[in-house]
Amino acid sequence: MHLMFHLSDISKSYGPLFAVAHTTLDIPAGRTTALIGPSGCGKSTLLRLMNGLIAPDTGSVTFDGEAVTAANASSLRRRMGYVIQQGGLFPHMTARQNISVMARHTGWTAADTESRLQVLADLTRFPLDALARYPAELSGGQRQRVSLMRALMLDPDALLLDEPLGALDPMVRFDLQTELADIFKTLGKTVVLVTHDLFEAAHFASDIVLLRDGAVEQRASMDVLLSAPASTFVKKFVGAQRGLNGARGLNGEPGL
């Protein structure tokens, strides 16, 4: 199996607290892997270690066979799209400028940039006339689409998404879940998606990594997490999520 990311015995601590503790994790290429766990368990930190935004205290990260270092992080990141909960859009740039900023920076022609923009707007079903708007003039859902287009602009090998739908209201969120899953299927890229919602994780991935205090507690599909929890912690986490999502079916489809 082709590995896109290989994290080996990786740790990161902030003061006495381990955000990530001696974790080894492989992310297979061409599929979606979901990282899940309670707030503060180290999901975001793990993602930042993967794209070299922070350096690990111990262990190493490789991306597509290449070690991620301070020296090559900037160039490797151009092969990994990254979307965060609030979108992280640059408020002084229009949607079009936000999406094409890296293309311009790396010297694409205007024509190449524009045709890529069209493809992405089509993919994400983003209205072309809204490309001229500033982030402040867009809805929450539109902002996340722009953020996704920006991440996809250079046609990266992998996509890292940190709770991309976390800030949206439930209706928009549900629509976008469905759409995103379709897009990922179309693209066939490696996707690492962070969420704290088990049902959202199941919606996107059959490969779910459940984290606890910076370490992997169990890695399995939704069904296995439900039927064979590895610990009482997993049982409790799954139980709490089912309580919250009582009205929804196990596959993340809306219940009736």
Ligand X SMILES: Nc1ncnc2c1ncn2[C@@H]1O[C@H](COP(=O)(O)OP(=O)(O)O)[C@@H](O)[C@H]1O
Instruction: CB nearer to other proteins: give 81 or 214.
Output: 81
Q: How far does the chain reach from its first CA to its final CA, in angstroms?
A: 39
Residue with tokens 């066939």: 188
Torsion, Cα 138 144 147 151, to 10 degrees, reads -160
Q: Among 78, 61, 73, which Cα is nearest to 4's?
A: 61
Q: Which does 59 bind (CB under 5 to 8 A by kind): Mg ion, ligand X, other proteins, none?
A: none
Task: Give the number of residues in contact with Mg ion, rule: CB under 5 A.
Answer: 1
CB of 224 to ligand X, least distance (A): 22
- Of 81-100, binders to other proteins (CB under 8 A) are 81-82, 84-94
Instruction: CB nearer to other proteins: give 41 or 151.
Output: 151
DSSP notation for 32-65: EEEEE-STTSSHHHHHHHHTTSS--SEEEEEETT
Task: Give the number of residues in contact with other proteins, rule: CB under 8 A.
Answer: 34
Q: Among 114, 79, 86, which Cα is nearest to 100's?
A: 114
Q: Among 149, 184, 153, 177, which Cα is nearest to 163's?
A: 177
DSSP notation for 134-198: -GGGS-HHHHHHHHHHHHHTT--SEEEEESTTTTS-HHHHHHHHHHHHHHHHHHT-EEEEEES-H
Instruction: List interacting residues with ligand X (CB under 6 A).
Output: 14, 17, 19, 37, 39-45
Instruction: CB nearer to other proteins: give 51 or 190.
Output: 51
CB of 1 to ligand X, least distance (A): 26
Q: Among 65, 76, 34, 251, which Cα is nearest to 161's?
A: 34
The answer to whether residue 150 forms part of the interface with other proteins (CB under 8 A) is yes
Q: Which does 41 bind (CB under 5 to 8 A by kind): other proteins, Mg ion, ligand X, none?
A: ligand X
Among 6, 31, 78, 212, binds other proteins (CB under 8 A): 78
Q: Which does 19 bind (CB under 5 to 8 A by kind): other proteins, Mg ion, ligand X, none?
A: ligand X
Q: Among 23, 7, 1, 5, which Cα is nearest to 159's?
A: 5
Instruction: CB nearer to other proteins: give 50 or 210.
Output: 50
x/- map, 30-49, Mg ion, by CB under 5 A: --------------x-----
Q: Within a 10 A sphere around the Cβ of 197, how many other Cβ atoms?
A: 19
Q: Which does 215 bind (CB under 5 to 8 A by kind): ligand X, other proteins, Mg ion, none?
A: none
Q: Which does 87 bind (CB under 5 to 8 A by kind): ligand X, other proteins, Mg ion, none?
A: other proteins
CB of 44 to Mg ion, least distance (A): 3
The answer to whether residue 53 forms part of the interface with other proteins (CB under 8 A) is yes
What residues line the site for Mg ion (CB under 5 A)? Answer: 44
